[in-house]
Amino acid sequence: MDEFVPPQNEDDCYISYLPAAHSFEQCIMAMHLVTGMKCGFYAGNTLKLTEDIGLLQPTLFPSVPRLYNKIYGKIKDGLAAKTGVVSWLATKGVNAKLSALKNGKGLHHGFYDKVIFKKMKALLGGKIRLMITGSAPIAGDVLDFLKICFSAPICEGYGMTETCAGSVITF
């Protein structure tokens, strides 16, 4: 991993919205209890999940590929709708950050993070520092794009209920 992510602690929080019986949610819940991390529960309406995220401003965001793909699509559609200088600047920012990621130079860019990616980060509350995905495969280009948009590493887990959820995790 190019950038060190300090372990979760009592300053961190996450939003619990995945099914409580799912082993992925059980694992995250156990992690929150062990580390002292705060946990906020969504209001129960998945259509208002973004409102709950905006209020809680989580630092850890666990999710499944289906939702990450929706977030990816929403951001890509928003970028495609831009025109003129805004479109040019957004394209330059995405390309610069993807290049830096591929060359091991990290996920942050002083200028582009403040001008372009700040609005994207706000979709998940603006304070995300670690994202986790599991339960199904997800495309590498989607992971890379989301990493640069939220300036946060994404851990991809593999496992199954019979092995207590995560068996292997990658960054």
**Averaged confidence pLDDT in the chain:** 89
**Nearest alpha-carbon partner for 153 in 117, 120, 129:** 129
Cβ within 8 Å of residue 78, ≥6 positions away = none
Q: What is the pLDDT of residue 4?
A: 60
- Give the mean model confidence (pLDDT) for residues 35-45: 92
**Which run of H or E residues covers position 70?**
helix 65-80
**Nearest alpha-carbon partner for 121 in 155, 146, 86, 89:** 146
CB atoms within 10 A of CB 3: 15
CB atoms within 10 A of CB 63: 23
- For 53-87, write each residue's pLDDT tens digit: 999 999 999 999 999 999 999 999 999 999 999 99
Task: Dump the DSSP string for 77-95.
Answer: HHHHT--HHHHHHHHHHHH
Q: Could you give the domains of the chain?
A: 13-170 (3.40.50.980)
Taking 60 as the threshold, does the pLDDT of residue 1 lie above it? no
Where residue 165 falls among pLDDT bands split at 50, 70, 90?
low
Residue of 102 and 134 predicted with greater confidence: 102
Cβ within 8 Å of residue 67, ≥6 positions away = none
- For 125-159, write each residue's pLDDT tens digit: 999 999 999 888 899 999 999 999 999 999 888 77
Predicted structure pTM score = 0.88
Torsions phi, psi for 46 (to 5 deg):
-65, -25
Token representation of residue 50: 């973004």
Torsions phi, psi for 118 (to 5 deg):
-60, -40
* Residue keyed to tokens 């706000």: 122
Per-residue b or e along 79-116, where b marks 16 or more CB atoms closer than 10 Å to that residue's CB: beeeeeeeeeebeebbebbeebbeeeeebebeebbeeb
- Give the mean model confidence (pLDDT) for residues 6-17: 88
Q: What is the pLDDT of residue 3?
A: 57
